[in-house]
Amino acid sequence: MILIKEAIILAGGLGTRLRSAVPDLPKCMAPVAGRPFIAYVIDYYRSQGITSFIFSLGYKHERIAEYISAAYPGLSHQCVIEEEPLGTGGAIRRSCETASGQNVMVLNGDTFFKVDIRSMSRFHQDKEADCTLALKPMINSDRYGIVETHPDHSIRSFREKQFYAKSLVNGGVYLLNTQQFLKEGLPQKFSFEKDYLEALFAERKIYGFIQDVYFIDIGIPEDFRKAQHELPANL
């Protein structure tokens, strides 16, 4: 088993839903207990064995790039800048073009999901997967669409947001075979979730890997406030 050591962090979004709480910063730079949120993502995944990062940036990218260079002077990283929004899929593809390994981890800069990289890497490679999604079990949730899997953990369906007493949701952490993904011939601008995962799951080796561990998405002010005390306590 080869431990995946390279990660793409998607941090190009405008963060419009969080604008009321953080009016002048990119979402991933929102301060949580005195530190930018993205610092918690970087620190955790470094502790899990990630040694190289590709930051996919757009809105106010200078603020993020300056922070990373100052706070992590020895970090092996590069920044891929979107001159115009490419969607999550276009951003991932641009970053995959600069990735060095056959498989890369993909993370969202505004969510923290405490997945175990070693076990997820083993699962992804054992399945010879094109893409593995980290799935978070949820109770009484209506904020997220849900993911259903077959007994072999391949994806059975994606369902729209509505109330579910128990569900598995896409936690926004992926392991992706870069070579296979770049062969897909997808357009320059596209949604990774809609135009790749939901459109192609039945035809590709796409699997779900369940991790019942700490997860938070700071995309709305309520959860941003919750992160102030929860996130430091969960590291």
Following DSSP, what letter does each residue of 199-211 receive, concatenated?
A: HHTTTS-EEEEE-
User: Does 18 have pLDDT greater than 60?
Assistant: no
What does the pLDDT read at residue 19?
Answer: 56
Residue 14 has pLDDT above 90, yes or no: no
Q: Are 11 and 82 in contact (CB under 8 A)?
A: no
The two three-digit tokens of residue 149, written as one number: 């899997």
Q: Which two tokens stand for residue 167?
A: 């569900």
- Pick the most confident of 17-31, 115-129, 151-165: 115-129
Residue-wise pLDDT tens digits, 46-93 = 999 999 999 999 888 999 999 999 999 999 999 999 888 899 999 999
**Mean of the per-residue pLDDT values for the chain?**
92
Domains along the chain with CATH numbers? 6-233 (3.90.550.10)
Neighbours of 88 (CB within 10 A): 23
Higher-pLDDT residue of 13, 177: 177
Q: Convert the pLDDT of each residue in 187-233 to its tens digit.
A: 999 999 999 999 999 999 999 999 999 999 988 888 889 999 999 98
Q: Single out the residue of 188, 12, 181, 194 nearest to residue 90, CA to CA.
A: 188
At 15 the three-state DSSP class reads: coil
Q: Name which residue leads in pLDDT, 3 or 136.
A: 136
At residue 197, the pLDDT reads: 97
- Write down the pLDDT at residue 148: 95
Report how far residue 189's alpha carbon sits from residue 187's, in angstroms, rounded to the nearest whole number.
5
**Between 14 and 186, residue with greater pLDDT:** 186
Residue-wise pLDDT tens digits, 80-98 = 998 888 999 999 999 999 9
> For residue 141, what pLDDT band results from cuts at 50, 70 and 90?
confident
- Give the C-alpha separation, 5 to 210, whole Å: 20
Q: What is the pLDDT of residue 54?
A: 98
How far CA 195 is from CA of 37, 65, 88, 89, 185, in Å, comes to: 28, 29, 10, 8, 11
Distance between CA 115 and CA 216 in Å, rounded?
Answer: 12
Residue 26 pLDDT > 90, yes or no?
no
- Integer Cα distance of 168 and 158 in angstroms: 10
Percentage above 90 pLDDT, the chain? 77
